[in-house]
Every structure is written in C-alpha cells, then in structure tokens.
Chains A and B, each alone.
Chain A
Amino acid sequence: MNKICKYMLLAFLILMPDVSAHAADTGAAAPDVDIKSMLFGHIGDSYSWHITKIGEKDIVIPLPVIVHSSTGWHCFLSSRLEDGPYEGLYCAEGGEFDGKIVEKDAAGNEVRPFDISITKNVAGLMINSLILVLLILGCSRWYRRHDVLKEAPAGIAAILEPVITFINDDVIKDSIPEDQSRKYAPYLLTAFFFILINNLMGIVPVFPGGANTTGNIAVTLVLALCTFVAVNLFANRHYWKDIFWPDVPWWLKVPIPLIPLTELLGIFTKPFALMIRLFANIMAGHAIILSFVSIIFITVKMGPAINGGMSFITVVFGIFMDLLELLVAFIQAYVFTMLSAVFIGLAHEGGTRKQAEAEEE
C-alpha cells in the first residue's frame, strides 16, 4: 500500500508540471482556468517547446522558424516572436490562423506564408525517429556482430526481437502472401515501431516526450498515405479487376456502375479510416488525461476539502488512463500495421489464390 502511494505521488508530480504551466499561462490572464485553450494548446502544435513554468519564468525551448513569405526566406528562432512582429512576421491571435505565423499582405489582410518551421511536433517527430533509428540499428548491429546460431540475443536485441518476430510472423506473414511479404515487411515494421514510439513518447509528459505527434492529423495522414501507396502501387491485376469488374450480378455494374464506384471509394476510405482511427484514438487519450488533470485546477475555487478529494480521485483516474493509454499506444500501432498488412495482402491475394487453384487442378 505504501508503495502504491509512493507511485501515485510520483505520477502526480510527473503529471503536474506541464499542465500547471499551461494552467498558469491562462490563469494569469483570466481568473477562471481556461481549460479549452490549455487542452488545445497541449494537443495542438506550437512554434516553441514549452516545458514548464517556475515562478513567473517560463522554461521554453525555442525552435527554428522556417518561412517563405512575400519577402523571401526567413529563418530564425521562435523566441524572436515573443516581442512582437519580426521581419514582418508574427503569430496570429484569433481568426482563421490562430497561433500560426502570418504576415500582412498589401491590403492589410493576414495571409499565411509558406511555413516549414520546425514546430514542437516536428521536433518531437525528429527526436522520436532518432530514438527509433538508434534502437533498431542498435538491434541490427547486435545481429551483425554476433553469431545468432551460437548466442541468444542480449540487450536491445533481446527486447525488440520478440516484438519484431511477433509483428513479422503473426501480422505481416499471416496477411501477405509469402513471396510478397518480404518486400513489405520493412515498411510495415517501420510503421509499427514509428507509431508505437510516437504513441509512447506522447504519453511521457516532460521533454523530450509530450509532443502529440500521432494525435496530429498531418502525421497520421502521411502514414495512411504511405499505406495507400503501398497498397495500390504494386497491386496485381486481380485487385483492379475486383474493383472495376467485381463478381456481382451484371445489373449492379452495367448501366450504373454501382459496385465499381463503391469499390473505388473503398480504395480511399480504407486509408482514410486508418488516418482517422489513429489520430482520434491518440488525440482523445491525450484529451482525457488532460481533462482529468485539469479537474484539479477547476476545483481550486471550491475549497481545500473538495479540491483535495478531487485531486486524489483525479490522480487515481489519471494513473488508470495513463495505463490505458500505454495499452492503446500498442493496440493502435498494432491495428494500423495489421490493417495495412491486410490491405496490402488483399492487393496481392487474388493472383496467388488463382495460381494455387491452377496448381491444384
């Protein structure tokens, strides 16, 4: 029991700083805690990496802003933007481009320049990718340096090997025909570990974690796009025939191509579902945990007794949600990989099935 209390306290302390900083941000401006902006501030993207606030001093990692505006390329640290416009660029407040860097055009309207800044999410992606690459290359280095026939895997290899073989054997090889699975395995394994690492790092509340990468639709869009390309670019004849001339009664496809149209739509809805599923799950997870934590700050006004009680309940629920998110982090990575593998498998299956049938005959 003592141990559990200690962990709770620890979790409480870990969960605290980021949120308290956000709450303090808005709390200074308005007497009420602005939960919405805190929540969206955390879930969304930003030009600097806010770590915490000690007293009145914000601890922020400034990130490079790279913008191509009407006056050409601009490249500077985001800390320059704190004191108003810099080189004609500033952060919009409210309006269509809330929180984004904008410039004023000739008519005085706010317009968005071409913006490829290293934002918090980009930095997070870079850090997570670096971790991922180091982990996997460390693992493959072990295999290069050791004789697998004589030694059992140790270190990183021992941790990663079961996961890699699980995904490779139970997900990829089960879904994709043998001759094709070797080609797609590196992409699918990378996608799995990329999503898993990003999900897990998103749960860690302090730097270098905490960036809501896989809960951002741009990230999941790219992932889904890659699966879309992987499915459709190398699909066999049978796959396209199933889409444009499926085995259904003729009247479903001749005057009005009802089924072909549906199938054609299906090409796009499948990756779209992948995109939305991952994005919504991770984003919702972050939102729920943040909402729980913000209960503490909402109930401050209700007196110490209620605030204390609610804090305790919140911490308990926060721990529960964090554990659930750990599970979700794995499940979503698994589901994305599995569905990608199934879609790729479907794009290759018909041919081999026909071949198999021909061989049987």
Chain B
Amino acid sequence: MSLLMPDSGLLFWMLVIFLTVVAILAKWGFPVITSMVDKRRKYIDESLTLARKADEKMANLTKEHERIIGEARAEQNRLLKEAAEARDNIIRQAKAKAQDEADKLLAEARIQIEAEKESALSSIRSQIALISVNVAEKIIRKTLAEDKEQQELIRKMVDESLKMDSDTVKN
C-alpha cells in the first residue's frame, strides 16, 4: 500500500523541481526553439512559393521568348520577301526602261530611215521624172513632127505632168 501513498517530502520536492523546470524551459527553452522552427518553416514556405512563382515566370518568359523569336522570324521572312520584291521590281523597271529606251531609239531610227527613204524616193522620183521626161522628149521629138494634133496632145500632156511635178514639189 505504501506504493500508492504519495510521500509528502517527495511530493514537495517534485512540485518544486517540476515547476522550476517548467519555468526555466518555458522562459529560455522551448519558445526559442519552436519560434525558430516556425520561422524556418515560414521561410521555407515562402521560398517554395517564390520558387513556384519564379518557375511560372520562367515558363512565361520562355513563351515570350518563343513568341518574340517567332515574330522576329516572321519579320525576317517578310523583309526578305520585300527585298526580293523590291529587287524584282527594280529589275523589272530597269528592263522596262531599257525597253522603252530601245523602242524610242528604234522609233527614231525608223523615222530617220523613213525620212531618208522619203528623201531618197523623192530624189529618185525626180530623177525618174527627169529621165522619163528626157526619154519622152527624145521619143516625142522623133514622132511629133509627123502630126500637128499629136504635137498638140504632147504639149498638153507635158503641161499636165509639169503641173503634177510642181504639185509634188509643193507637197
């Protein structure tokens, strides 16, 4: 039965010792430890949140990068295309201009040729007229003596042709 009867001396000392231990540890022991552990836990939580946010940001950045690279590539393609177009344009224009120039030259040449031809023709025609007149004169001189009427006709015809000549010269 003595086991179940608390001894007063032991009770007294246990009370003193235990309350002292509680007082010491409650003041300098456990609150320090638990608050530090809590602090670290909070820090770890925050760090994890930050890391997650950083991850998200990184993912966003990568996406952004890809977008920018894509845009740049599109821009590059566009520029290349434009450059090619511009080049083609320039070549085309140059060609057209050259063509124009050539055409103009040709046209001028043709006009000149035409003029030359014209003058050549007119001089040939006048020569031919002279020659034909001469030939006709020579033929007519031989035959005109024979008939007065014929002489009359010749005169008339010569007049006409002269008239024609003067017309053409005028023109």
Contact = CB atoms under 8 A, between A and B. Distances in A.
Given A44-B2, A125-B17, A283-B3, A140 B28 contact: yes
Contacts of B21: 129, 132-133, 190, 194
B26 A122 contact: no
B64 to A, nearest CB: 32
Contact of A143 (B5, B8, B22, B32): B32
Interface in A194-224: 194, 216-219, 221-223
Nearest to A215: B3
Interface stretch (B34-42, B85-93, B108-116): B34-42
A296 B19 CA distance: 41
A189 B25 contact: yes
Given A45-B7, A98-B2, A119-B9, A139 B20 contact: no
A117 interface: yes
A107 interface: no
A160 B19 CA distance: 22
Interface residues of B, number: 35
13 contacts: A40-B3, A44-B2, A45-B10, A116-B9, A125-B18, A132-B21, A140-B32, A143-B33, A148-B36, A148-B37, A161-B33, A161-B37, A218-B11
A101 to B, nearest CB: 9
Contacts of B8: 114-116
Contacts of B4: 217
Given A119-B9, A164-B34, A149 B43 contact: yes
Given A190-B25, A222-B18, A164 B30 contact: yes
B13 A118 contact: yes
Given A161-B37, A168-B34, A137 B13 contact: no
B34 to A, nearest CB: 6
A136 interface: yes
A129 B31 CA distance: 18
A112 to B, nearest CB: 9
Contacts of A221: 6, 11, 14
A327 interface: no
A354 B36 CA distance: 32
B121 interface: no
B28 A137 contact: yes
A164 B18 CA distance: 19
Given A117-B9, A129-B17, A187-B26, A43 B3 contact: yes
Interface string A172-197: 00000000000001110111011000
A36 interface: no
A63 to B, nearest CB: 11
Given A148-B37, A217-B3, A129 B20 contact: yes
B130 interface: no
Of B4, B24, B26, B36, most buried by chain A (CB within 10 Å of CB) is B36
Query: Among A126, A148, A223, which residue has the most Cβ atoms of chain B within 10 A?
Result: A148
A122 B13 contact: yes
A129 B18 CA distance: 8
Given A139-B33, A148-B36, A218-B11, 15 more contacts: A115-B8, A119-B7, A126-B17, A133-B25, A137-B29, A140-B29, A143-B32, A161-B37, A185-B34, A186-B26, A186-B31, A218-B6, A218-B10, A222-B14, A226-B22
